[in-house]
Amino acid sequence: MFLAERHRSRSFRVIQKIGVLVSGTGSLLDAMIQDGLPISLVVADRPCRGLEIAYRAHIPIRLVDRRRYGYTNGGLDFDRSGFTEQITRELLEHGVNLVAMAGFMTIFSPSIFRHFKRRILNSHPSLLPAFKGEKAVADALAAGVAETGTTIHIATEQLDEGPILAQERVAILEGDTVATLHERIKQVERPLYPRTIRDFSTKF
């Protein structure tokens, strides 16, 4: 057995069922699929390419559209609890024991963090604690810093907080736009996130 295969089968004994949450293009999800991670379910909060990627890979998908829970611009009157409970139900019904947010763009109510205590991971495109929030790449550019990067961490009720599992730096180049910089960050995230999930799973 090749070393990589041995590594994979050892990890598989530990992480059995991953649920991936997406909202966008799903390139991190795609990297997880290519890596061979055992993904049991992909959930999206809106119609998006991530769902199509999962569908083509024959992974069960669920769309829990936040607009059905009253989400409009900014989500002020949004039924966050109902939305969170529905996603939690879907994950539990599919036997998920590890949740990976991969570009998921809705903030949950606290209940899901009780069901999946220390079992929800997130990838954020900055070197946390710097530049939290959904404009992390634009904020790093605007701040004029020389480098930013990515952080894989255990997600908690507090946005973009929680124990850090891995970080990698990315230099900001002259002429970078949000799009070029974010793409270079994602190039780092695509191998780092699956690797971190495997390492994390051996510590279950």
Regarding 20 and contact with ligand GRF (CB under 6 A), the answer is no
Residue range at the interface with ligand GRF (CB under 6 A); choices 11-19, 53-61, 76-84, 185-193: 185-193
**From candidates 18, 20, 21, 28, binder to ligand GRF by CB under 6 A:** 28
Regarding 61 and contact with ligand GRF (CB under 6 A), the answer is no
Regarding 125 and contact with ligand GRF (CB under 6 A), the answer is yes
Residue 64 or 101: the one with the smaller Cβ distance to ligand GRF is 101
Regarding 189 and contact with ligand GRF (CB under 6 A), the answer is yes
Contact 37, 59 (CB under 8 A): no
Catalytic residue among 94, 124, 153, 182: 124
Regarding 24 and contact with ligand GRF (CB under 6 A), the answer is yes
Quick one: tokens of 91? 């994950």
Regarding 84 and contact with ligand GRF (CB under 6 A), the answer is no
Measured between alpha carbons, how far is 34 from 16 in angstroms, rounded to an integer? 17
Regarding 97 and contact with ligand GRF (CB under 6 A), the answer is no
Torsion sign over Cα 105, 26, 47, 201? negative
**From candidates 25, 86, 97, 109, binder to ligand GRF by CB under 6 A:** 25
The HSE-up count of residue 33 (CA atoms within 13 Å, CB side) is 21
124 catalytically annotated: yes
Residue 18 or 29: the one with the smaller Cβ distance to ligand GRF is 29
Quick one: tokens of 7? 């590594």
Regarding 148 and contact with ligand GRF (CB under 6 A), the answer is no
β-strand partners of 39: 18
**Which residues from 105-124 bind ligand GRF, rule CB under 6 A?**
123-124
Torsion sign over Cα 81, 84, 90, 94? negative
* Cis, bond preceding 129 (omega within 30 deg of 0): yes
Nearest to 116 by CA among 11, 17, 27, 33: 17
Catalytic residues: 124
